Structure 1
Amino acid sequence: MAAVTELSFLLFALINYIHAQERIIIQKERSSYTFKLPENTNSCLISRSVGEEKLVLWNTSDLWSNSSSVPEDLKLRLVSSVKTSSYTILNLTHSDSGRYREECWTEGNVTHENNITITVCTTSTDGRYIGAIFGETVDLPCEGAADNLDVQWLKQDSRYETWSRVFGDKTTSVMDNVRERYQVVTDISDLRVSNVTATDVTEYRCLVMNQQQCVSSYTVKLRLRYEVIYHSVGETAVLPCTITDSTDEQPPRWSNQISRYLGQQKQTVPSVDQNYSLVFSSLMLNHSGWYDCKVSGRRQQYYLVVCPKFGPPAVELFSEGEEVTLRCRDWRKGWWHHWFIKSHRTEGRIFSLMSNQRMSRVSWYYDNGILVISNISVGDAGEYWCAVYDGVSQCLSIDRTVLMMQMFPYHLY
């Protein structure tokens, strides 16, 4: 019972902490913003801080009188709603940017406090989705950034819809707990996220600033990309579920698109271990397919490929700057084929060459099963796999080629 009471107290403290945090709002120029104040209060005060100076904008109990403190230019753009106790500023300008504070009283006691930072930008653009898998390093682009402009990066807490400042300028992190994993690429202002974890999978905003004025706001959403897991028949496979955290009320659930095959042989049915990983003790070809681990609206997805037992890989040697051609020998035997890389620099993780952002120098010629890597470098070393599939996406065969740097022996004269 004591443990339940303690847990309830911690959850209450967490919720209060989240609501006490400063809310960061990004609004487009000439749009509007609404202050939603609690009902049944005697009066509320809205103030704005400009530097060290605190400017009282208005008191809701004395809003429209001649002695009201509301600036005339703001009063013309202010709309109130008695029914919902809301106050809307219309036609926002850059001068409306700043730190706002809401304070409300009931019978002399403060019953509501809220801190808000509003940044009004000239333009606001929804960006694109960037995919990553856990442990990967990914760059988030900042569209519109230039060398002579400052950049601020914000990160959204996807659970509570609050924003945190990741970087206040191009070089200084303001999140101490992630200082080593978050870096701004100074020449292009991209945000580099190293060793991606579940807490990184959310929405980011890049604010392009000209002195104190926001020129543009650009949104980038970091999402989990499916991870390819390769195995051969008879092996054991483990699909980790690493998206859980201490606040989840329910354990994660696994689902798949081949459930009609499961249960045919008891020894091949996957099980879930104490870490919520999905475990296959003896893989079969028909275990290939999509597997999802879901918890609290978050999802981690795998594509499991089970191929017939493969023999030793071919070995190709290369020198820096060369062009290397790899061939998928069995590509004619199936309906389609796909190239993957097991890179040395990613600790053995397997990436699709179609989605790996690092492989911009790779050309895939689908009609003849050829893969060409131009201007090859040491970082391209690794094991390249070509998987051949039949009409129901079952693996028929796999070609493996290991690319190794040519090591020239020293000659003694």
Structure 2
Amino acid sequence: MAAVAELSFLLFALSNNIHAEERITVQQENTAYTFSLPENTNSCLISRFVGEEKLVLWNTSDLRSNNSSVPEHLKRLVSTGKTYSYTICSLTHSDSGLYQEECWTKGNLTHEKNISITVCSSMHKMGGTDTRLGKTVDMQCDRAAHNLDIQWLKHDIRYEQEIWTRVFGDNVTSVTDNVRGRYQLVTKTSTLRISNVTITDLGEYTCLMMNQQKCVKSDEKLLRLKSETIYRSVEETAVLPCNVNDFTDDPPPLWKFKQKSLFHTDLGLQNQTVPSVDQNYSLAFSSLMLNHSGWYSCYASKTQQVYLLLVCPKFGPPAVELFSEGEKVTVRCRDWREGTGHYWFIKSNRTEGRVFSVKDQRMSRVSWYYNNGNLVISNVSVEDTGEYWCVVYDPYHQCVSTERTVLVYMEPFGIYSTFFKVRCSVLSVLLLMLCAAVVAVNLRTRRGAQLSAQRET
């Protein structure tokens, strides 16, 4: 109910100032907030809405005047700068509310802005949540108590300051542009669920935990694109798409390359074929080399898309591993050793013949052991058949070797089955016995012929 009351209050306050731009900012208790007003103006007013009243807090010309009528307790709270900036020092919960800036030049209103300030007892940055475009993602509101009202805000990247927009105005209806129906609030957990994620959904979110109209805590989250691991062999081609440039007014995306802690913004390395950037800002490699391996990041609109490209020598003949349904299968990375890292990739009918990182596939029955290089598949099924590739790399993400294991399903009566092997063994024994019998018969026949010949002579 507190969120509903607050939204109704803001809508009432804005009804008389429909042309004013509204910004939402979240501040921690005991910090400061600065109103930065435009210069080249004759005078400015900073007001605050309290209920249905609009109270003028500071008149810039009066505040700077020697004969200022501003009460002394307000002067102590406000720090005036040389460039028309005014700061509320040591914010408290009572400073939360809707403020307005108005400035005049030669009698004309030239600046108007509404600012909603929310002061929280504590603010936490809770890390990032990885997702892929087109997927559904849940943003958790950590440590949200059932007796608190939850408000979700999204950082507006158009502004350098931390300006936020409301995702939900009343915990039900989405008020963010073009997301109506894609954003849902899971009531029991206060989770923000975003369906069919697009580029515009990426960025910073904050979950406000409100006790009536008082902000108890703010938890900030970062929704970002999940990094993708790509395997290629030398002399092959590769294209790394850049899908983060969704704002036509922004500058073109910038590609960066990283090997361990070394960055190259121009992607130019000594003795390395430099990839090209096509019209869609994708990074294209015409003939891959071993030292193309590394991290590639496409930066645009304060968002980045990250790839780990592993270029390896061409692999030799694969090993074959047989399994029956329901078994536990261990696929070994024999070239793994201390001081190296490794990745597992899979190529199967389930992935339509494409090579995917096992880690990216999130296979629930697969355990990846980093300390010995083994990949363990429990309760194995026919769907798990395919090629499993182990890529071993050094600390600079240079590929050292590639091993390939083909996982083959052993059908109950197939050529690899126990029944087939037993049958083959029995048939082999019978064939040997038949051959022995034929040989014995032949020997008897010859011996009989020899005896007959001796008697005749």
Pairwise TM-score range, normalised by the shorter structure: 0.7 to 0.9
Pairwise CA distance, 1:253: 4.5
Question: What is the Cα-based RMSD across aligned positions, in Å?
Answer: 4.3
Give the alignment of 1:183-332 within 5 angstroms.
183-233=184-234, 235-244=236-245, 245-250=247-252, 252-253=254-255, 255=257, 259-263=269-273, 270-295=275-300, 298-307=303-312, 308-309=314-315, 324-332=328-336
1:28 and 1:121 in contact (8 A); partners too: yes
Give the counterpart letter for 1:173 in structure 2: S
C-alpha contact (below 8 Å) 1:255/1:292 kept by paired residues: yes
- CA-CA distance at 1:203 after TM superposition: 1.8
Distance 2:308 2:141 in 1: 31
| TM norm structure 2 | 0.66
> Quick one: which amino acid aligns to residue 397 of structure 1?
T
CA distance in 1, matches of 2:190, 2:118: 19
Higher helix share: 2
Residue 277 of structure 1: CA displacement?
1.8
Q: Is residue 43–residue 105 contact of structure 2 (8 Å, CA) maintained in 1?
A: yes
What does residue 387 of structure 1 align with?
390
User: Equivalents in 2 of 1:359, 1:337: separation in Å?
Assistant: 17
Rounded Cα–Cα distance in structure 1 between residues aligned with 2:49 and 2:384: 55
The Cα shift of 1:121 comes to 0.9
CA distance in structure 2 between the partners assigned to 1:38 and 1:332 by the alignment: 63
Q: Tell me, yes or no, if structure 1 residue 88 matches structure 2 residue 93.
A: no
Q: Could you tell me the percent identity over the aligned residues?
A: 55
CA distance in 1, matches of 2:385, 2:213: 47
CA pair 338-390 structure 1, distance change in 2 beyond 3 A: closer
- Show the counterpart of 1:33: 33
Give 2:148's aligned residue: 149
- The change in CA–CA distance for 1:106 and 1:274 in structure 2 (over 3 A counts) is closer
Amino acid at match of 1:115: N
Give CA deviations for 1:285-327 in whole Å, capped at 9, x if unaligned. 55433333345665433212234358699686767xxx95542
Aligned length: 374
AA aligned opposite 1:229: I
Higher share in strand: 1
Distance of 1:174 and 1:32 partners within structure 2 = 29
SS at match of 1:167: coil
Aligned partners of 2:332 and 2:279: how far apart in 1? 40
Match for residue 10 of structure 1?
none
Supply the distance in 1 between the matched residues of 2:67 and 2:384 (Cα, whole angstroms): 76
Contact 1:255 1:293 in 2 (8 A): no
The residue that corresponds to 1:15 in the other structure is: none
CA deviation digits over 1:238-294, x for unaligned, max 9? 21122223113446446565833434xxxxx64333222222344455543333334
Task: Tell me by how many angstroms 1:26 deviates.
Answer: 0.7
Q: 1:390 to 1:316 in 2, by over 3 A?
A: same
Q: After superposition, where does 1:28-177 map in structure 2 within 5 Å?
A: 28-63=28-63, 75=74, 77-81=76-80, 83-161=82-160, 162-177=163-178
Provide closer, same or farther for how the CA distance between residues 346 and 40 of structure 1 changes in structure 2, counting only shifts above 3 A.
Answer: farther
Q: Using a 3 Å threshold, how does the CA distance of structure 1 residues 390 and 318 change in structure 2: closer, same or farther?
A: same
Gapped runs of 5+ residues in structure 2? Answer: 1-18, 260-267, 412-457
Q: In terms of mean alpha carbon deviation, does 25-34 or 387-396 score higher?
A: 387-396
CA distance in 1: counterparts of 2:150 and 2:49, whole angstroms: 22
Deviates most, 31-40 or 286-295? 286-295
Counterpart amino acid of 1:24? Answer: I
Contact 1:239 1:277 in 2 (8 A): yes
Deviation, 1:117, is 0.6
